[in-house]
């Protein structure tokens, strides 16, 4: 049996650190993948030219994330009642949106895995425009409820919102508390700010198993057929809830997301026909 004794002469920092932090309770695990998006960027350019829609890398990643979770439904789950694992019956993705006032909000797209890429672009654009304009009802009501609340009431109000929307699964959009507000995963594009690598923290109210940051596409060295070449590379940085996703499942999701980003038109017969006709 191991025996322990007090450290005879710990450093000042070690003494402060031992007293300042509590034991670890955060289940987050982190990882990133680099994706060669040479073909993806070409597809986006052709898609825009043919359809007139402003397809972005965020749309591509959102669609790829949804299809990845649809392929592995066991990780499309949330923890309720302090430990019970419940599976979702829909792959919903929350896309972060920066408003004109500098505030951070977002939109939840429902059943994204069953939407064609055209619909992902249209729904995201429409909802994002409404959120930025302040006309989205869910955004307006939630901001109205929270914005005017005294700081000392915010914590209990957020706790109540968490219980209502996640534990009890109540849908109260008129109060700014929709059911399961963040869905399966959160996708946030930080590439517009020139951020290369970063990881997002989980929001307790979210209860989603993955957060994904989309960074700036940069030229990086890539090995192709044993030769180092320069390619445009997208770095995707993920935060995973280890209570739901382990290393094996994270690897499977990463492979599926990479495949979806590199082949955004896979299974999209309409897109394939249009783009083939244009090429």
41-80 confidence digits (pLDDT tens) = 999 999 999 999 999 999 999 999 999 999 999 999 999 9
Inform me whether the pLDDT recorded for 22 exceeds 90: no
The pTM assigned to this predicted structure is: 0.88
Sorted by where each begins, the domain ranges of the chain are 27-127+180-278
Cβ–Cβ < 8 Å for 54, 44: no
Residues near 17 by Cβ (< 8 Å), separated by ≥ 6?
none
> Mean per-residue pLDDT for 129-144?
74
Q: What is the pLDDT of residue 114?
A: 94
Compute the distance between CA of residue 155 and CA of residue 142 in angstroms, rounded to an integer: 15
Q: What is the pLDDT of residue 100?
A: 64
Q: Which of 80-84, 135-139, 165-169 has the lowest mean pLDDT?
A: 135-139
Q: How many CA atoms lie within 13 A of 258 on its CB side?
A: 15
Closest by CA to 260, choosing from 69, 9, 16, 131, is: 69
Q: Which CATH architecture has domain 27-127+180-278?
A: 2-Layer Sandwich (3.30)
Query: Based on the number of CB atoms within 10 Å of its own CB, is 179 exposed (0-12), middle (13-18) or buried (19 or more)?
Result: middle
Tell me the per-residue pLDDT of 3-14, one tens digit each, with 9 for 90 and over. Answer: 667 768 877 777
């Amino acid at each position: 049996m191991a025996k322990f004794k007090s450290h005879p002469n710990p450093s000042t920092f070690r003494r402060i650190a031992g007293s300042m932090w509590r034991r670890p309770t955060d289940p987050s695990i982190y990882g990133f993948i680099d994706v060669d998006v040479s073909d993806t960027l070409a597809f986006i350019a052709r898609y825009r030219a043919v359809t007139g829609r402003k397809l972005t890398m965020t749309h591509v990643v959102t669609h790829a994330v949804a299809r990845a979770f649809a392929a592995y439904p066991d990780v499309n789950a949330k923890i309720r009642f302090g430990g019970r694992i419940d599976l979702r019956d829909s792959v919903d993705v929350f896309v972060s949106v920066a408003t004109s006032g500098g505030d951070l909000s977002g939109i939840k797209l429902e059943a994204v895995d069953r939407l064609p890429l055209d619909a992902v672009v249209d729904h995201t654009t429409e909802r994002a425009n409404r959120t930025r304009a302040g006309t989205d009802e869910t955004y307006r009501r939630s901001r109205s409820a929270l914005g005017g609340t005294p700081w000392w009431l915010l914590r209990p109000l957020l706790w109540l919102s968490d219980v209502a929307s996640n534990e009890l699964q109540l849908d109260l959009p008129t109060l700014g508390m929709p059911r399961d507000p963040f869905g399966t995963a959160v996708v946030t594009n930080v590439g517009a700010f020139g951020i290369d690598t970063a990881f997002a923290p989980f929001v307790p109210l979210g209860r989603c198993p993955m957060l994904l940051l989309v960074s700036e596409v940069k030229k990086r060295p890539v090995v192709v057929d044993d030769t180092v070449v320069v390619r445009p590379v997208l770095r995707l940085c993920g935060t995973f809830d280890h209570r739901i996703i382990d290393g094996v499942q994270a690897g499977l999701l990463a492979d599926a997301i990479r495949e979806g980003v590199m082949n955004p038109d896979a299974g999209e017969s309409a897109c394939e026909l249009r783009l083939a006709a244009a090429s």
